[in-house]
């Protein structure tokens, strides 16, 4: 074969390759689909668990097995990224609705890492089964070939709630970032119902139901006047403050306490330790003399950071200092970037709900078309059996006079009698009039 050399500009090749790589990262890794609100790795983990039969009423299975199945069948990337996705879906302090029921050490709000996948176990939550994975066997979504075309995987999961709003999303792609805060499930459902009742509903009217983000870590949104613009455009900055509660001393030998019971969502992980260090720094720098001791009493029940105070401490002044000089008041950047028809697009909550409802209409339509088709197939078979019952002796004679099933079916469907031996001429004439369908003849 003759050698063929193609001359092209190096800059053009680099540009095309970079764009292809960027779009691959955006659509296949970092940004969730607007329909089910899941990134590909999350979708594949949940589907692998579904295929393994890890239902909420079945025993937990080793996380290593789940990661192995996901990587071997659907997601040809590193096992650490798959396990991290599994861990995050279990952590109720990161997700509005946790999707995985974990058993073992799945990390903590203070930034402790989860145990190795060989030690932890997991299964699906009932909510996930009923809302995210139901009706997969009813042709409600398209299935695609996996990376080596040996398995089939769902293009999208048939999620029945606006997951992209309920659980939020975050991801860094090439030149793009998505950051969607979690919201209260009940509020989101009420907003969807309002949209159904009034399709031209405004963002401001939707916010009568969705008051704002519902962070798992709590916190108080202090720029509520800007939320309408953020929810309309899909981008902006939400300012969140932690919650402080004053606890007066109950005994003589006790001190008054200022307790942090809720924190900004951005402090999850190592940033919580930085908050404690910043508060200690204020004391060491003598920016405040009101704090005597700092105790972190946080547990699985929730956040509890206790600041023991000196006598007659100025609570209001100390609170303002903490908000101003530490991350107890922080900013959550919102950028509601999602994948729509294979392309990234920034949406407001109204458009997100509209796309969600379009998806639901498609799911329900496909489900009942599938069920109708199945019922019509049953009807066809039953009608054929009823007809066969009326000419049972003739059919028995056709079967006995034939040499193969193929000849019998041909006779039943098209009345072809040339290769069948009949005892009576009348039987052959009656057989020539038969016109069963393919499905009826097979049955």
Residues classed as catalytic = 119
30 secondary structure, DSSP code: I
Burial 194-207 (b: 16+ CB within 10 A, else e): bbeeeeebebeebb
Measured in degrees and rounded to the nearest 5, phi and psi for residue 233 equal: -90, -25
Contact between 187 and 162 (Cβ < 8 Å): no
Residues 207, 210, 211, 214: is their CA dihedral positive or negative? Answer: negative
Q: From CA 284, how far away is CA 288, in angstroms rounded?
A: 9
Direct distance between the N- and C-terminal alpha carbons of the chain, in angstroms, rounded to an integer: 56
- Phi, psi dihedrals of residue 401, rounded to the nearest 5°: -90, 0
- E strand spans, 1-151: 61-62, 100-103, 121-124, 143-145
| Dist CA 431 CA 410 (whole Å) | 11
CB 325 within 8 A of CB 278: yes
Alpha-helical runs (H) found in 153-226:
163-166, 185-197, 203-206
Query: Percentage helix, strand, coil, to 5, in the chain?
Result: 45, 15, 40
- Parallel, antiparallel or unpaired: strands 152-154 and 121-124: unpaired
Place of tokens 């909420």: 56
Tell me how far CA of residue 61 lies from CA of 64, 69, 105, 121, 133, in angstroms. Answer: 8, 12, 14, 5, 18
């Amino acid at each position: 074969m003759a050698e063929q050399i193609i001359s092209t500009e190096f800059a053009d090749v680099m540009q095309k390759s970079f764009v292809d790589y960027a779009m691959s990262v955006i659509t296949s890794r970092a940004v969730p689909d607007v329909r089910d609100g899941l990134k590909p790795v999350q979708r594949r983990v949940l589907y692998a668990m579904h295929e393994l039969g890890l239902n909420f009423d079945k025993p937990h299975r080793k996380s290593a097995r789940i990661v192995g199945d996901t990587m071997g069948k659907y997601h040809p990337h590193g096992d650490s990224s798959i396990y991290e996705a599994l861990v995050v879906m279990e952590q109720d302090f990161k997700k509005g609705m946790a999707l995985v029921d974990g058993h073992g050490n799945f990390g903590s709000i203070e930034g402790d890492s989860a145990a190795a996948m060989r030690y932890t176990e997991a299964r699906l939550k009932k909510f996930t089964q009923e809302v995210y994975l139901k009706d997969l066997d009813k042709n409600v979504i398209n299935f695609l070939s996996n990376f080596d075309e040996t398995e089939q995987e769902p293009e999208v999961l048939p999620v029945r709630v606006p997951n992209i709003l309920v659980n939020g999303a975050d991801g860094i792609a090439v030149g793009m970032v998505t950051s969607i805060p979690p919201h209260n499930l009940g509020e989101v459902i009420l907003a969807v119902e309002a949209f159904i009742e009034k399709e031209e509903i405004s963002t401001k009217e939707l916010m009568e139901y969705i008051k704002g983000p519902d962070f798992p870590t709590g916190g108080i949104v202090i720029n509520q006047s800007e939320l309408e613009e953020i929810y309309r455009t899909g981008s902006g900055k939400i300012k969140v403050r932690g919650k402080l509660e004053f606890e007066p001393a109950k005994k003589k030998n006790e001190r008054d306490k200022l307790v942090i019971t809720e924190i900004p969502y951005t402090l999850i992980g190592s940033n919580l330790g930085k908050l404690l260090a910043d508060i200690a720094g204020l004391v060491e720098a003598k920016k405040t003399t009101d704090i005597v001791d700092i105790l972190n009493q946080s547990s699985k029940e929730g956040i509890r950071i206790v600041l023991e105070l000196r006598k007659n401490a100025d609570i209001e002044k100390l609170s303002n200092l903490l908000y101003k000089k530490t991350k107890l008041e922080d900013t959550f950047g919102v950028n509601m970037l999602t994948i729509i028809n294979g392309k990234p697009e920034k949406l407001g909550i109204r458009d997100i709900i509209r796309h969600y409802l379009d998806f639901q209409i498609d799911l329900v339509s496909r489900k009942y078309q599938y069920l109708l088709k199945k019922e019509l197939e049953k009807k066809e078979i039953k009608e054929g059996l009823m007809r066969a019952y009326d000419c049972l002796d003739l059919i028995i004679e056709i079967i006995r006079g034939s040499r193969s099933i193929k000849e019998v079916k041909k006779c039943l469907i098209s009345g072809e009698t040339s290769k069948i031996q009949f005892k009576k001429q009348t039987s052959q004439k009656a057989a020539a009039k038969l016109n069963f369908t393919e499905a009826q003849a097979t049955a």
